[in-house]
């Protein structure tokens, strides 16, 4: 059993790994469901018609058995390659509002966190636990998938 008391079904210790990536992207918080005045009222300065940008810090936390052979939960080169292809290439230096995943969804960081979670859920070599996105030094958003008890998304929203 591991120091934390957690074992995999195969009897080996489970470890948790967090990894960060950086990307720059712009967006405008706006919905066609509201008129111009309501959008401005709800989204404030984030509804600027020209948009605004962020230097996002994306963090994903994974878990898995520690390989007896390598001593790792997953190979960081594999994880970074996956992130480069599936996350960075898709979002870095983009206007989020122009991407298909935000065609019918407001490009909030909450919604970005859910999209990033969906992307990293497909990583085959470790179990995704959660995604955290730091939007500014005052705002970060964490998404940990669907809640088992309520069937509703679980979020931690700080500083907004």
Is 135 an annotated catalytic residue?
Answer: yes
Is 46 an annotated catalytic residue?
Answer: yes
Geometric angle at alpha carbon 133, from 132 and 135, rounded to 5°: 155
Task: Write the DSSP string, 19-50.
Answer: EEEEEEEEE----TTS-HHHHHHHHGGGG-TT
Instruction: Quote the CA–CA distance of 134 and 129 in Å, as a whole number.
Output: 17
> Which residue among the candidates 46, 59, 86, 101 is catalytic per the annotation?
46
> Which residue among the candidates 6, 7, 93, 156 is catalytic per the annotation?
93
Instruction: Quote the CA–CA distance of 132 and 142 in Å, as a whole number.
Output: 4
> Which residue among the candidates 110, 115, 134, 135 is catalytic per the annotation?
135
- Residues annotated as catalytic are 46, 93, 135
């Amino acid at each position: 059993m591991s120091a934390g008391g957690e074992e995999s079904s195969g009897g080996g210790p489970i470890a948790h790994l967090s990894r960060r990536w950086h990307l720059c992207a712009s967006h405008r918080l706006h919905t066609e469901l509201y008129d111009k005045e309501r959008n401005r009222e709800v989204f404030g300065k984030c509804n600027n018609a020209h948009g605004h940008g962020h230097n996002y810090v994306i963090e994903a936390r994974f878990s898995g058995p520690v390989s007896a052979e390598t001593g790792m939960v997953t190979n960081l080169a594999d994880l970074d390659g996956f992130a480069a292809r599936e996350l960075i290439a898709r979002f870095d230096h983009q206007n989020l509002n122009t991407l298909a995943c935000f065609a019918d969804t407001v490009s909030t960081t909450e919604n970005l966190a859910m999209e990033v979670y969906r992307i990293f859920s497909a990583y085959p070599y470790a179990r995704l636990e959660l995604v955290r996105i730091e939007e500014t030094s005052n705002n970060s958003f964490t998404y940990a998938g669907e809640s088992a008890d309520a069937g509703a998304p679980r979020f931690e929203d700080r500083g907004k």
